[in-house]
Amino acid sequence: MIVDYSKRAPLRQAITQTFNGLHPCSICHLVNKGTNSEKKSDLQPVTPKIDIICTKRAITLLPPFVHFKYLAGDFSFSEIGDSPPVPPPRSLLS
């Protein structure tokens, strides 16, 4: 509609005529005709409305995080005190 009106008038006037509702186009007439011919039903919906009931739940709180300090150990050979294990004896057949 803006394009049609702008052929005969300035753009500002074309926009005003398009949206002021005083100059409806053929599509506007069809929409109004369809809207007026619709019948609104006064019937209640067949399914009843379901109300949701919320109950309170128990809240479980987690215990606070406790930092654990690992013991710093020296696992050198002198601390262990034992010599490394001896390899198993080899059989004579191999």
Greater model confidence, 91 or 16: 16
Q: For residue 35, which phi and psi values (nearest 5 degrees)?
A: -65, -40
Beta-carbon contacts of 73 under 8 Å, excluding residues fewer than 6 positions away, are 79
pLDDT of residue 76: 62
Specify the 3-state DSSP secondary structure of 16. Answer: helix
User: Tell me: the pLDDT tens digits for 37-93?
Assistant: 766 555 556 677 777 777 777 788 888 888 777 777 666 655 556 666 777 777 766
Q: How far apart are CA 37 and CA 35, in angstroms?
A: 6
